[in-house]
Amino acid sequence: MSAFTLNDQFERQVFANGYVLVNGVQMHAENGQRFQIPPAVLKKHVDNGHFVEIRIDSPRFSAHPDAPANCVCQHCQEEATKPILAHEQPATLLKLPSQEVPSRGWGEEFWVRVSQHHDQLLKVVVDNPLYEARLHELHQGDEIVIHEDHILAVHSMHRQELLLQMSAAELKELAEWLK
């Protein structure tokens, strides 16, 4: 598949109900250390078969009506304006029983498996059953195209492989980022 085709798929990709892929680089810029993402030097080595975490969200929805006042994020301990559903592991690695969660328009973080990486675009396959599928119409097994900027995490099982692919200069860049 050519880069043009991958770019074309990315440009034409639309999710239902105003859902969009969350740009991790932008979220990190807005939230600093409270929203950590992997460095670009690591993301550029993500390859076929690797798992990465991404988020989809829609500005059309806000916190649910029965949410407590001053709902607090479990990660950063700051006020949360809208819950984000999270999948801790790819379904391929950890099978969980089906869970019924009412659709409320929340954001959702989930794992995808990379099937193609060209320049900064990646074709990926959704690797979790998604709770909000009725609203964003994205399901386990669907293929989508993401940009490296959408990557929120690279699965820890790939760390050693990624490090072995890096040049000395890239390892130095990673070490600087880790400080």
Residue 76's identity, in one-letter code, is: C
Q: What does the pLDDT read at residue 96?
A: 73
pTM, full prediction: 0.84
Residue in 54, 35, 12 with CA at minimum distance from that of residue 147? 54
User: Are the beta carbons of 71 and 63 closer than 8 angstroms?
Assistant: yes
C-alpha span between 2 and 7 (Å, rounded)? 9
Pick the most confident of 4-13, 46-55, 81-90, 92-101. Answer: 46-55
What does the mean pLDDT of the chain come to? Answer: 86
User: Are the beta carbons of 86 and 57 closer than 8 angstroms?
Assistant: no
Q: What is the pLDDT of residues 36-89, one digit of tens each?
A: 899 999 999 999 999 999 999 998 765 555 555 555 555 555 555 667 888 899
Decide: residue 7, CB within 10 A, 0-12 exposed, 13-18 middle, 19+ buried.
Answer: middle
Higher pLDDT, 66 or 115: 115
Q: What does the pLDDT read at residue 1?
A: 46
Mean pLDDT of 105-116: 93
Q: What does the pLDDT read at residue 33?
A: 83
C-alpha span between 67 and 90 (Å, rounded)? 28
**The pair of three-digit structure tokens given for residue 48, joined into one six-digit string:** 């076929």
C-alpha span between 140 and 4 (Å, rounded)? 26
User: Are the beta carbons of 71 and 106 closer than 8 angstroms?
Assistant: no
Q: What does the pLDDT read at residue 34?
A: 83
The percent of residues in the chain predicted with pLDDT above 90, rounded, is 64
